[in-house]
Structure 1
Amino acid sequence: MKSNTNTKVIVFHHPSIASKSAAIHHHHRLWFIFFLSLFTLVFSFTLFTSSLHSSSVVSPSFPPPISAALLQYVSSASAAANSSMSLSELSAVSTAIRSLSGVDGGVNLLVFGLTHESLLWRSINFPGRTVFVDDSSYAVSKFEQTNPGVEAYDIVFSSRVSQAGELLRYYRTRHDCRPVQNLLFSDCELAINDLPNFFYDTDWDVILVDGPSGFSGESPGRMSAIFTSAVLARSKREGKNKKTDVFVHEFGRTVERVYSEEFLCEENLVEVVGELAHFSVEAEAGGGGTGSPEIIRFCRNSTRLSEPFAPVIGGEDDEDGGVNAD
């Protein structure tokens, strides 16, 4: 009897185990069907929105809430590292990029300097074209390796911050330093002319000068970057957008301020947000790399120097940087 009882017990529980196994199998199958349906729905929606994007006029594909989140995240990270731009400065650049974005979204964005915000600019400008220029070949190489598909180029700046005053007086005597020209063939010492040809053929919508470094007299400084930005903006071909938004970071420093006032011009200054100056520079007649060789002044009211720039020591400018404006 004991043996039979045990047998009955086994027979009694077996259907329950089988039922439980079947229920689990059925449960897994339901989840599989759910995920398969969800994947199909997402895939179909993606195809639909892609088709809609290609056949109609749409705003930039980067949603504003995501842009805001990225700006907040990057500004918080920069604040923690005690470096780079504030949220208000980041927002000023982002607003300009988004306001100029056309049918396909994004603009032609040129950035001098690889910084904490580099990936942010590329993301905010999606799917536009973002090109980075930096004086560190190592930084450019590392940036390209960790971010496949980016466009970044390294250049060598021969000038130094200690030469800023001398270079500013030099350009006023040189027709090669005129505001409208093809920089690729320029002999002006302030011009950047050793980048790929496309750099000079592109009509840039937004230019951000956030490099190279300029904290000491022996630093490369941003003289050439600011001068080149001004020429690119004025030499722009006639098109739907004749103006170029040029941003100069660390505008409170002497070199950045004086060179911006000299080449980007006070009359083109839109606003100053923190340490970021925003200029809107309009293309001049005869753009596209041509211009009168007689015109070498950029602004109606240029800054005049009576003394050379004093070298910057310890990462800080002196009271007036050795610059006296008459």
Structure 2
Amino acid sequence: MSIKSKTHNHPMITLKLTLICLFFLFLIFLLLRSNFTTSSFISSSTSRTSNKDSQSQTNDYQTCNKIPPSLSTALLHYATSKITPQQTYQEISVTLRILQRKSPCNFLIFGLGYDSLMWASLNHGGRTVFLEEDLSWINQIQKKFPTLESKHVKYNTKLTEADRLFEVGSEHELCKVVGDPRTSKCELVMKGMPDEIYDVEWDLIMVDAPTGWHDATPGRMSAIYTAGLMGRNREEGETDVFVHDVNRPVEDRFSTGFLCQSYLTEQVGRIRHFTVPSHRVLSKPAFCP
């Protein structure tokens, strides 16, 4: 199911406290990092620094230690909201560990929902973009959280096509060609997204949408395939890709099939973490080694 429908109230209190603790831990991490940077800067200053410059450094130091507005908003929201994300503490921690190492970074998320403010806040200083199929839902969330960046996307698949699309992606050579998704001839690839989505090299990609819990829904086949293609097509380095709800057949089969079992780093509960390397720096790599 999509992120917006994945909420429940039990055990709401435990998860709410968990989220608040996560934000405080991340806030401490940010403060320690800013303190270290500022301290290093001050220690390298010469003794000829004027009183005015010293006062300016002190002000900068104090400013760095303030809670960023995005984190303050998130803390307040999750402390007072009766609705909490469905991902468990253990599942959230899988992505959080990577964010602690890579943020601020480029983070692309398929889905927009009640946990979106959390992810944007945990990537404080970076760019977090949400891709959502429901335009009315985008408008509703933007009214409540206008700082979130979301894009409307359309899916041309149905969950009932999953078996056929898996066969297409597995057997057709066109689906094993690594390149810009906009020029791909593979039926599985997502086209029609804003150009900026294709142009950015995303450090993290999370697939937690579109809806995929009954036959009339789009399913996540194209989202999973496209996330893997984007990771392979980056200039260099690697992309951390997360797929949620892998307890369901499509998410299970398509994640291991197109993000590759050999790239699987970790699975906790219903979330899988894949580390997809750039294929542009490799010599004729197999789509799935």
Corresponding residue SS for 2:129:
strand
Structure 2 regions of 5+ residues with no counterpart? 1-54
Select which of 60, 66, 91 maps to 1:48: 60
Q: Equivalent residues in 2 for 1:1-326 (5 A)?
A: 47-49=59-61, 77-78=83-84, 84-101=86-103, 106-238=104-236, 242-286=237-281, 298-300=287-289
Mapped to 2, the partners of 1:211 and 1:96 lie a distance apart of 20
In the alignment, the residues of structure 2 paired with residue 151 and residue 268 of structure 1 have an alpha-carbon distance, to the nearest angstrom, of: 29
Cα deviation digits, residues 123-144 of structure 1 (max 9, x gap)? 1111100000011111112222
Aligned mates of 1:207, 1:255 — CA distance in 2: 18
| 1:70–1:164 Cα change, 3 Å | farther
CA distance in 2, matches of 1:74, 1:233: 37
**Aligned-pair CA distance for 1:45:** 8.3
Structure 1: where are the runs of 5+ without partners?
Answer: 1-42, 54-60, 301-326
Counterpart Cα distance in 2 of 1:165 and 1:75? 40
In 1, Cα distance between the equivalents of 2:58 and 2:100?
23
**Per-residue Cα deviation, 1:268-309 (whole angstroms, up to 9, x for no partner):** 11111111111111111358xxx97xx8x6213xxxxxxxxx
Give CA-to-partner distance per residue, 1:86-105, whole Å, 9 cap, x none.
1111121111111112xxxx
> How many equivalent residue pairs?
233
Q: Is the 8 A contact 1:140 1:154 kept in 2?
A: yes
Q: For the Cα contact (< 8 Å) 1:133–1:154, is it kept in 2? A: yes
Question: Which structure has the higher relative contact order (CA within 8 Å, separation 6+)?
Answer: 2
Q: Structure 1 residue 221: deviation in Å?
A: 0.6
Paired with 1:281 and 1:231, the residues of 2 have a C-alpha distance of: 9
Give the number of the structure whose alpha-carbon radius of gyration is greater: 1
Matched-pair contact (CA < 8 Å) for 2:224–2:254:
yes
- In 1, distance between residues paired with 2:79 and 2:125? 21
Higher helix share: 2
State how far apart, in whole Å, the 2-side matches of 1:183 and 1:266 are. Answer: 22
TM-score normalised over the length of structure 1: 0.63
CA contact (8 A) 1:133 1:153 kept: yes
Q: Distance in 2 between matches of 1:99 and 1:162?
A: 39
Q: Output the amino acid matched with 1:188.
A: C
Identical amino acids, percent of aligned pairs: 33
Kept in 1: contact 2:189–2:225 (CA 8 A): yes
Other structure's SS at 1:272 match: strand
CA 1:76–1:272 in structure 2 vs 1: closer, same or farther (change >3 Å)? Answer: farther
Describe the SS at the equivalent of 2:107: strand
Task: Tell me the CA shift for residue 252 of structure 1.
Answer: 0.9
Shift of 1:50: 7.8
1:109/1:213 CA distance change after superposition, 3 Å: same
CA distance in 1, matches of 2:83, 2:88: 10
Cα distance change, pair 263–117 in 1 and its aligned pair in 2 (3 A):
same
Tell me the alpha carbon deviations over residues 232-285 of structure 1, each in whole angstroms, 9 at most, x when there is no partner. 0000112xxx11111100111110010001111111111111111111111113
What's the Cα RMSD here? 3.4
Change (3 A) 1:71 1:151: closer
Deviations 1:204-252 (A, max 9, x none): 11111100111112211100110000000000112xxx11111100111
Matched-pair contact (CA < 8 Å) for 2:117–2:148: no
